[in-house]
Structure 1
Amino acid sequence: MNRIHQKLQEDKLSKSTTQKLLSIYFTAGYPSLNDTKTIIEDLEKSGVDMIEIGLPFSDPLADGPTIQASSAQAIKNGMTTKILFNQLKDIRKSVEIPLLIMGYFNPILQFGVEAFCQKCQEVGIDGLIIPDLPVDVYHEEYQAIFEKYNIINVFLITPQTSEKRIRYIDSISNGFIYMVSSASVTGSQSGFGEAQTQYFKRIAKMNLKNPQLVGFGISDHNTFKQATQITKGAIIGSAFIKHLTEFGTKNLISFINRIKE
């Protein structure tokens, strides 16, 4: 069984009704080129449920300035797709929680989609999040490849995504849906407004077969709690990158504790 399925099932069987999943995003090769493995191991020790490893790209259109800057620095540090896979080759000797790679389609296409999925399987990656891969293109051209290597592809929905499109995404998904909290780029905010709250409720009423994790704008305990009132969990990216920028790889446990307190 894919580790993402295991985590979602494990959470479903949990006696705690208040336990929500926390997924952390960070950019591979940031702050320093060889920090990737250390950050993953320390995040697992801190109690996070899943980790999204950002594959840096030179033109990250969906990302806000914080993640854009981390991608630029990671590329400057020398991070490449091949180096990332090399850094991850022994990661399953020390880490058990689900690991996903989040990145843009261009580097994956350059590497070769099947070769990329095969390499993900080899090193123990459980899923991919590719914001610029259209769902219909995935369904028609790549789904069979992903399934061959037991890689879950996670799709994003926004407040502007039509109900028809959401149900189509739900029908071909096999893991969770990344529920973007707003139509803006990534970045933290102080809280969610009425429009976002109504959006969360609207999606909940659709009774989708795949659980949803909320991303974009989650930065602290307050926004994590708001985002997870009627969803399975939440994803934190920019706020964690800011922590890495300020403190490096130190005090990761204290950062996670502040979110889950």
Structure 2
Amino acid sequence: MNNTTAQNYIDNAFSQGKAFIPFITCGDPDLETTEKLVYAMEKAGADLIELGIPFSDPVAEGPVIQEASERALKNGVTTDKIFEMVQKIRENSFVPLAFMTYANPVFTYGLDKFLSRCKENGICCVILPDIPFEEKGEMLDKFQEYGVKMISLIAPTSKDRISKIAAGAEGFVYCVSSLGVTGTRTEITTDIAAMVEGVKEVNALPCAIGFGISSPETAAKMSRVSDGVIVGSAIVKIIGVHGRDCIEPVCNFVRELKDAMAKQ
């Protein structure tokens, strides 16, 4: 990671106030556009960018991101091609990057090979929503061996497990705002403040809130009780509508959200 550790990348992302973390699906509409989006979103205020590795059965995703994954896979996107794109990004930018994917693509690729290439290309962390906290043991050892952070997720149903998950967390903690899959929501009713407080009681790591955030107002509200906000489906929806012409509308949306958070 060019002498910069994964934790350095993550700390940098949360060091300038509330972190804004957009999610995009690699290869939707194509990898060239994905690369351009990374540069443009960084300029628009993104502090860390979550790159989705498309998978045919993304169980945590709603229809918007499922359809984006389907489009990317139909376009012939592979994990190898994504790593090649990230390598090009690293020639031009050191914005913190995370991968969001599932256990199957990682194990199919080969865990050692996957983590080695993450380390080589400055991927600071990986989010695997289908690996429960209790089952990440041996996998976590490999992540630590390669110096890549395995991000822990805490959901509204975690309750009594929050302190246990938080104690073993690394990098930052992904707080899931709502039950169900990803997607835009008109209202978030979960007591996020209590969830974040439960984490902070046992671990000082930053907490970022994701799932359902789709407007400047909601981003601002969630940033008041957390260290960062993750927005995926609302951005992926814009990409789905505009295709290769998505860069300007996506960046306008990113700026709106970032500005709303900055006013808190």
TM-score normalised to the size of structure 1? 0.90
Report what 2:215 is aligned to.
Answer: 220
Report what 1:231 is aligned to.
Answer: 226
Report the Cα distance in structure 2 between the residues aligned to 1:80 and 1:38, rounded to whole angstroms: 18
Report the Cα distance in structure 1 between the residues aligned to 2:255 and 2:151, rounded to whole angstroms: 26
**239-248 vs 228-237, greater mean Cα deviation:** 239-248
**143-152 vs 244-253, greater mean Cα deviation:** 244-253
Report the Cα distance in structure 1 between the residues aligned to 2:112 and 2:238, rounded to whole angstroms: 35
Report what 1:142 is aligned to.
Answer: 139
Report what 2:107 is aligned to.
Answer: 109
- In the TM superposition, what are the counterparts of 1:35-184 in structure 2 within 5 Å? 35-139=33-137, 141-163=138-160, 165-184=161-180
| Secondary structure of the corresponding residue to residue 224 of structure 2 | coil
Report the Cα distance in structure 2 between the residues aligned to 1:200 and 1:26, rounded to whole angstroms: 26
- In the TM superposition, what are the counterparts of 1:242-257 in structure 2 within 5 Å? 242-248=237-243, 249-251=246-248, 252-257=250-255
Report the Cα distance in structure 2 between the residues aligned to 1:230 and 1:97, rounded to whole angstroms: 24
Amino acid at match of 1:2: T
| Secondary structure of the corresponding residue to residue 58 of structure 2 | coil
The Cα of 1:43 is off from its aligned counterpart by 1.2
| Secondary structure of the corresponding residue to residue 123 of structure 2 | coil
Structure 1 residue 191 and structure 2 residue 194: aligned? no
The Cα of 1:190 is off from its aligned counterpart by 2.1
Q: Once the two structures are superposed, what CA deviation does each residue of 1:140-187 show, in whole Å capped at 9, x if it has no partner?
A: x12221112110111111110132x22222222221111000111101
Report what 1:204 is aligned to.
Answer: 197
182 and 107 in structure 1: CA distance in 2 versus 1, 3 angstrom threshold: same
Report what 1:28 is aligned to.
Answer: 26
The Cα of 1:4 is off from its aligned counterpart by 4.5
For the 8 Å contact 2:99–2:126, the answer to whether it is kept is yes
7 and 59 in structure 1: CA distance in 2 versus 1, 3 angstrom threshold: closer
Structure 1 residue 8 and structure 2 residue 11: aligned? yes
228 and 208 in structure 1: CA distance in 2 versus 1, 3 angstrom threshold: farther
The Cα of 1:38 is off from its aligned counterpart by 1.2
Report the Cα distance in structure 2 between the residues aligned to 1:10 and 1:177, rounded to whole angstroms: 13
Q: Percent identity?
A: 33
Report the Cα distance in structure 1 between the residues aligned to 2:70 and 2:202, rounded to whole angstroms: 37
The Cα of 1:202 is off from its aligned counterpart by 4.3
127 and 8 in structure 1: CA distance in 2 versus 1, 3 angstrom threshold: same
For the 8 Å contact 2:48–2:95, the answer to whether it is kept is yes
Report the Cα distance in structure 2 between the residues aligned to 1:87 and 1:222, rounded to whole angstroms: 33
Report the Cα distance in structure 1 between the residues aligned to 2:80 and 2:13, rounded to whole angstroms: 33
| Secondary structure of the corresponding residue to residue 217 of structure 2 | helix
| Secondary structure of the corresponding residue to residue 167 of structure 1 | helix
| Secondary structure of the corresponding residue to residue 90 of structure 1 | helix
For the 8 Å contact 1:90–1:123, the answer to whether it is kept is no
The Cα of 1:5 is off from its aligned counterpart by 3.6
Report the Cα distance in structure 1 between the residues aligned to 2:29 and 2:197, rounded to whole angstroms: 37
Amino acid at match of 2:126: L
The Cα of 1:27 is off from its aligned counterpart by 0.3
